[in-house]
Amino acid sequence: MKKTIGLLVSLVLLLPTLASSGALSFRLGYFVPRAQSDLWTIEFQNMSFQKSDFQTATLGIHYEQFLTKELSILVGFESYSRTQLGYYRDFVGYSFQEGDFAFPADIYEGDFDISHNFSVSSTPIQLSLKLTPLGRRSGFIPYIGGGIALYVWSVKLLGDMVDFTDEWFYDDPELGEITIYGIYGAEARAESRFSFGFQGFAGFMIPVASRLAIEAEFKYSQCRGDLGDAFPDFEDFDLGGYQFSVGVNYWF
């Protein structure tokens, strides 16, 4: 994946030498995942982390080729990566000869916390059309656009997992029969996968020099990816979200 990103960076940096008129922008963004698929939902229901824990800063680079005074084509990418360690909210762990088991946390203190890491990363390689209705010669340049993207992405879950289908019963001397569940080591990896998505965006640029402008943008993206054999019985994973970004746009 690092080789792929490195190749794309080199390609984007070389594009200006192949075209007569265009722009290069560097952006700092803040990505908010939609997180609307069942793996996201189960993790947020059971673990101590929240959706906001997977919001984070992103870096991006985009090359813009001017086609007309109002229309241009964009190619570029942004990188998102987030890993969180979470603890099961409602269960604690005990070890027995038969294995490790999850007990209700509202009744028992436990010998250990049940935890795992949940990691999500994605790099959308985007191709878009951009429309600047007022042209690029004014002091305030609004724009809109949209296009398609190839996502290079990974999802990993590493640590302990409570298997709620593995139901046992513990005979508590005071409370009677308590339902408990088996705990098993998890090492589920859906890595370096590819999926297609799309994005739409709107923003504005403000020139600050003859060839330099600052820009601000809001982008909505949508993409779902097949988790494969690493996460059987789960629906396609939601990779889309909302992004706010600011950057510097250099014209040449």
Q: Is the pLDDT of residue 14 over 60?
A: no
Greater pLDDT, 16 or 65: 65
Among 51, 22, 207, 215, CA closest to 120: 51
What pLDDT is recorded for position 212? 95
What's this model's pTM, rounded to 2 decimal places? 0.88
Q: Which residues of 52-78 are buried (b: 16+ CB within 10 A; e: fewer)?
A: ebbbeebebbbbbbbeeeeebbbbbbb
| Average pLDDT rounded to a whole number, residues 239-246 | 98
pLDDT over 50 (residue 223) = yes
pLDDT at 4 over 60: no
CATH of domain 2-82+118-153+191-251: 2.40.160.20
End-to-end CA distance of the chain: 31
For the segment 234-247, the average pLDDT, to the nearest whole number, is 98
Please, are residues 44 and 8 in contact by the beta-carbon 8 Å criterion?
no
Domain ranges of the chain: 2-82+118-153+191-251
Give the tens place of pLDDT for each residue, 75-95: 999 999 999 999 999 999 999
Greater pLDDT, 124 or 2: 124
The rounded mean pLDDT for the chain is 93
Res 63 pLDDT > 60: yes
The pLDDT tens digits for 200-216 are: 999 999 999 989 999 99
